[in-house]
Amino acid sequence: MGRIIVKEPPAKTLITGIRAIGYSFSTAVADIIDNSISAKAHHIDVISEVGGGSTYVQFLDDGIGMKYDELENAMLLGSAREGREDSELELGRFGLGLKSASLSQCRIFTVASKVGDECAAITFDLNLIEEENKWNLKVLDKDEISELPNIDKLFKYTSGTLVIWQDFDKILGHSKKFEDTFREMIAEAKKHVELVFHRFYASHDIYFNYRRIEKRDPFLCGSAPRQQTGHTERLKINGYYIDVTPYTLPFWNTITDEEKALLGHPKSIHDDQGFYLYRNKRLISWGSWFRMGLKSEQNKLARVQ
């Protein structure tokens, strides 16, 4: 048998690859919110600030939180899941979501988490990592934790987590007016989150800058009899069940302003026709027939959940 050697990948090279995984700003924001839902949070605040010497995006939740050892594991790329049962609430399986989503958008992110009277915080700073080409993370002391923006809001919860993004180098590198672009991306992320998590509206309070997200219903289920809901078929595939329900929206010229708001004020009803695929109630793909047919004027009112 030949020798076995252990090679630790160079931090700078691996980080560059992770940052190019392919998140948009909106999908990265949704990934962090998804973590909060998986942590059994019911109130989630997305707080953003730009200009005035302080620019950040924060995600504050009242979930179960993490003690220091759990937080240290969560900040590890490919965090360990031994002894941890897969939850029906979760989408993640590989321990990469928090890190890959965050690093796809910023160079510095901090996670502070509270359980009872204990609060721990660790910062992932690419400047620190690139300096020595090692996986150096910074553990914040009590004074540094107390200086984190909006940390007082986390302290009010019995348990919860605060994720902070800073140093948005990618937005800075691709925008002529950083502040305008930043605000536009926050607005786009809010619309994205409203649709992706629309089935959580009744059970979870999600806020962007202290305003609750709008209610969305891509099928206008409350618009019967003008809207038609077909029979739900339950398909069994490899021991798992998939529920399939077809919908036909009302004619566009009869849709009210309230119904347009539920649809997200689309420019064209034609573009959103097709399949709406969910996993654990999250909308993961929509507005396509997946090569089973072409988008057409005849199908523009059709949606399949």
pLDDT above 70 as % of the chain: 94
- The residue ranking higher by pLDDT, 95 or 51, is 51
d(CA 39, CA 57): 19
Decide if pLDDT at 179 tops 80: yes
Hey, how many other C-beta atoms are within 10 angstroms of the C-beta on 280?
14
pTM of the model: 0.90
* DSSP codes of every residue in 157-170: SSEEEEEEEE--HH
Asked whether the beta carbons of 183 and 25 are under 8 A apart, the reply is no
What does the pLDDT look like over 3-14, one tens digit per residue? 888 777 778 888
Q: What is the mean pLDDT of residues 160-181?
A: 93
Q: What angle do CA 41, 75, 71 make, to 5 degrees?
A: 55
What's the pLDDT tens digit per position in 228-270?
A: 999 999 999 999 999 999 999 999 999 999 999 999 999 888 9
Q: What is the pLDDT of residue 247?
A: 97
For 291-303, the pLDDT digits (tens) are: 888 899 999 999 9
Collapsed DSSP state (helix, strand, coil) of residue 4: coil
pLDDT at 17: 82
What is 194-220 written as a DSSP string? HHHTGGGTTT-EEEETTEEPPP--TT-
Query: Is residue 2 pLDDT above 90, yes or no?
Result: no
Structural contact between residues 28 and 97, judged by C-beta atoms closer than 8 angstroms: no
Q: Residue 19 is inside which H or E element, if any?
A: helix 11-19
DSSP characters for 100-132? HHHHTT-SEEEEEEEETTEEEEEEEEHHHHHHH
Of 171, 167, 108, the residue nearest 140 (C-alpha)? 108
**Which pLDDT score, from 0 to 100, does residue 51 have?**
84
Q: Are 68 and 120 in contact (CB under 8 A)?
A: yes
> Would you state the pLDDT for residue 174?
82
Two tokens, residue 6: 């252990």
Model pLDDT for residues 202-221, shown as the tens digit of each residue: 999 999 999 999 999 999 99
How confident is the prediction for the chain on average, in pLDDT? Answer: 91
Alpha helices in 20-122 (DSSP H): 25-38, 68-74, 97-103
Do residues 295 and 270 lie in contact, with contact meaning Cβ atoms separated by under 8 Å? Answer: yes
Residue range 7-43, pLDDT digits in tens: 777 788 888 888 888 899 999 999 999 999 999 999 9
How far apart (Å, rounded) are the C-alpha atoms in residues 176 and 144? 33
Asked whether the predicted pLDDT for residue 84 surpasses 50, the reply is no
Helix (H, G, I), strand (E, B) or coil at 93: coil
State yes or no: pLDDT of 157 exceeds 60. Answer: yes
